[in-house]
Every structure is written in structure tokens, then in C-alpha cells.
Amino acid sequence: TDLQSFLDIYYAGASVLLKEEDFHDMAWAYLTKAKAENILRTELFFDPQTHTERGVPFEVVITGLKRACDRAAVELGMSAELILCFLRHLSEEDALKTLDEALPYKDQFIGVGLDSSERGHPPEKFARVFAKCREAGLRLVAHAGEEGPPQYIIDALDVLHVERIDHGVRCVEDPDLVQRLAREGTALTVCPLSNIKLCVFDAMDQHNIKSLLDHGLKVTINSDDPAYFGGYLNQNFLETFAALDLDAQAAYTLARNSFEASFAPEADKARWIAQLDDTFERFAA
């Protein structure tokens, strides 16, 4: 019924992940599904603290996940990278400890994020750890404005200096923030099916993604724990478009936004966007 009720189930389910092969197999199951949905690039979030606090070494987690990502590049022709997320219900000291464990493996993930429950855990709680991540040259994102207020989005931008906002749907409650997001081209990684399951919106036809697009925001559609929320990326597109009567131009815009907002090399982005343009032109014809 809300994010915390999901997290309680999520953390219990994670207890079966113990060995490197477990993490590889879990990631590989997702990646093969993503390939079947014609996904070219995926940036996977993982929460090492979920596992290290159970006694699973960080090395086991990252090695298993990264091996699956590397395998996807060879066997699936897919670009897959990892983003390490700190759990915001834990202390910043715990996040700093996790970062210290992670930095020797910095070449195996591209950035850091902030997830778990927003309520009572504002972005500034993690100012020091994000400053260290920025100094280390990591890309920065954060969950903000899903259940938390618009101010959390502002603080994620101004205190944590993130480049993307995960979720961010509550930005519409602050018109000045909406204008800023549009002006600065800050991407919002919106997760429609997750928003319905967690009661951020009561029903898909009440989702505000069309309004976000109409305001010129760089919105992307994403899956969020798809095995739990009943929909991978294509299902998120299908249900969103059916409920809100979005058109082909919206599909193109959302897909292009996703490539532009990714942390992939510019040459890869240009190649994928050219492929998208060609596909859209043939579809429109």
C-alpha cells in the first residue's frame, strides 16, 4: 500500500542472495528479459547495504552483478552498467563505510544513488557521502519527490548535486521547480506502474506524466523492481499510453529522453538516437 510496506517484503526476499552466483543469476534473469524487450541500454540500481548488513561481503555482490553485465555486452549486445544506491533509512556513517568498501571496485560501477524510504530522511542527511562520491568522479542520482515533498528534489539538486532525479513526480506541486527542471533539462526517471502499486497515484489515468511532458520536462519511463510490481519496461509503456491516450510522438520523446539522460558515452548515445530516428521515421511513413 506504500513504499515502506513494499520495502519490508523486498528486504525479506533479498535474504536468499548469498553467493556471487546468486547475484549473477538474478542480474542475468533481468538482463535476458530486458533483451527480449529490445532494450539497448540499462542502468541497474543495487543496494549493497541490504546484503552487507547480513554478512555478505561487498566483493561478492559487485562481482556477481558486474559479471552478468559484462556477459550481457558479449552475449546479448546490450550495454548494462551498475549504480550503487545508499539506503536512506540507515545512517550517513553507514553509507560512508559502504563507500569505503566500494571505492576499490570503482571501475565496476558508474555512479551512486539514494533510495529506500524518503519519509524522515531528507537528501541533506547524505551531503558528506555524496561530496566524496563527486570527488571520486562518480555520476550522481537520487530518489526524490516520490513520497517526499518537492523540497527534497530541490535539496537533491542543490545539496547533493545530482544529475538526475529518480521519480520526481511531486515536482508539480512547486511551479518554480517545474520551470527550473525544464530550463536545466534535468531528467526525471518516472516509474508509472510502481507509482500505482505504491499508491503515489490511485490509478494510471490519474498519473501526471502527460502533464510533466506538456511542461517540457525531460521525462523517461522506467521499470522499478519489475518482478514485484508486475511490469517490465514495455508493460509500463503500454499501460501508461493506454490510460493517458499518449501518441507516437510521446513514445519517441520518452525513448529519446532515455538515451539523452543515460550515462552512456556520447558516441553510443548518438548511435542509439540515430537508430531510434530511423525506426520512428519508418513507423511514421
Catalytic amino acids?
146
Roughly what angle, to the nearest 10 degrees, separates helices 266-284 and 248-261?
170
Within the chain, strands assigned E span 41-46, 79-87, 111-115, 139-144, 164-167, 187-190, 218-221
* Phi and psi at residue 165, to the nearest 5°: -110, 125
Roughly what angle, to the nearest 10 degrees, separates helices 58-75 and 92-102?
60
- Identify whether the C-beta of residue 86 lies closer than 8 Å to the C-beta of residue 49: yes
What is the distance between the alpha carbons of residues 253 and 255, in angstroms, rounded to a whole number?
5
| Other beta carbons less than 10 A from residue 66's beta carbon | 21
Buried b (16+ CB within 10 A) or exposed e, 149-181: bbbbbbbbbebbebebbbbbbbbbebeebbeeb
Largest CA distance in the chain: 57
| Alpha-carbon Rg for the chain in angstroms | 18
What is the distance between the alpha carbons of residues 208 and 77, in angstroms, rounded to a whole number?
34
The 79-87 sheet, strands edge to edge: 41-46, 79-87, 111-115, 139-144, 164-167, 187-190, 218-221
